[in-house]
Amino acid sequence: MLDTILNTLMKPTKLEKEQLKSLEFHNDMPLDVYDTKLSREEKTPIISDVLFKNKSIYVSKHNRYAPYPTHSHTFLEINYMLRGSCDEVVDSQPVHLEQGDVLLLDVGCKHSVSYLGTNDLLINILFRDREINLDLLSDLRSSKSVLYEFLLNRRIGDRSEIRYLLFGHEDESEVQETLDRIIEEYYLQRDFADTVISAYLSILIAQLVRNYKVDIHKEMSKQQELAVQMLKEINDNYRDVSLEKLAAKYGYNRNYLSNLFKKEVGDTFSNVLTKQRLINANILITSTTLPISKISKEVGINNRTFFYRKYISYYNVAPGSDRKKKNQ
């Protein structure tokens, strides 16, 4: 981060001086940016896309010296803890941010921010690209695994959708560097700044997906541990793994493993194995020129009709069309 930008961000604004004096929240948002109808329905102030006007991305420093009350947006938001730390309440859950942490908030995610002191700099990056959303399991299909999906779903419990994700600051220097470049471009406003910022945003989202780590806080039962081990086997040996082989390896009855797997994972072993094979097929289809018939066999699916039917069902596009679309 350039010292000139950092020094500018550290200087108290007029509104911050007012909040420091009164220790009360002063709203800096014009009334016309609020969606009156949605705010009334949700019983929470909701900031609309009007905020952007002619911009596609909006960057701002979060005002210090007073708590920011619960609110929501009709767009996506990134909270980047540039300096210091802070506490938020996100969808009724306490979230603590340390320096370098990144919080990604989905459309409609309600959150509030606690008091920020002089040395706390929280940067808000707001953007409207509806192609980027927090249904990450859809985006991660081509780059992650069924094991990752299971662990991520387990981390968020029984919730039907992911409304926010917290990215820790450890070992994520590339994410922080990209965020710093976005902030610099926004405040310096050099030629083509908006174009550069949009490009950086796409890079940032890809880096966040690449760096996201699943953290399991709850202890697993023996059955859950066995299910995770079976998922790992699928992940590592998807070409030729089978229930029969795992039953022999772990010393369990095949039917017992089948029933345990479905109970813990929520799907059959066969379906999950096919999904993993499709994930790996997608990677090869979109990143190589190998014939699709060869790719199908490479991932362990010898029946061409079955492969095409399942691929279309999972990705909503035929393998050949998917390759053309990704290479455009």
Chain segment 186-203, per-residue pLDDT in tens: 999 889 888 888 888 878
Chain segment 56-68, per-residue pLDDT in tens: 788 999 999 999 9
* Distances in whole angstroms, Cα of residue 60 to Cα of each of 78, 82, 125, 254: 11, 12, 7, 57
What H or E segment, with its residue span, contains residue 55? none
Rounded distance between C-alpha atoms, residue 170 and residue 277, angstroms:
31
pTM: 0.64
What does the pLDDT average to over 122-128?
89
Judge contact between 76 and 104, C-beta under 8 A: yes
Work out the mean pLDDT of the chain and round it to a whole number. 84
Among 182-196, 255-269, 294-308, which range has the highest average pLDDT?
A: 294-308
Judge contact between 296 and 307, C-beta under 8 A: yes
Lowest mean pLDDT, pick from 124-128, 205-209, 214-218: 214-218
Q: How confident is the model at residue 133 (pLDDT cuts 50, 70, 90)?
A: very low
Q: Which long-range contacts (CB under 8 A, 24 or more apart) does 22-31 make?
A: 22/66, 23/65, 23/66, 24/66, 25/66, 25/67, 25/68, 25/69, 26/63, 26/66, 28/63
Antiparallel, parallel or unpaired: β 46-47 and 68-73: parallel
Strands (E), the chain: 46-47, 57-61, 68-73, 76-83, 85-90, 93-98, 102-105, 111-113, 121-127, 164-167
Judge contact between 58 and 127, C-beta under 8 A: yes
- Domains of the chain by start residue, with CATH: 3-140+160-211 (2.60.120.280), 222-326 (1.10.10.60)
* pLDDT for 15 beyond 50: yes
Angle between helix axes 304-315 and 269-287 (nearest 10 degrees) is: 80
User: What pLDDT, on the 0 to 100 scale, is given for residue 8?
Assistant: 92
User: What pLDDT, on the 0 to 100 scale, is given for residue 142?
Assistant: 46
What does the pLDDT average to over 93-117?
92
* pLDDT for 258 beyond 80: yes
Q: How many residues does the chain have?
A: 328
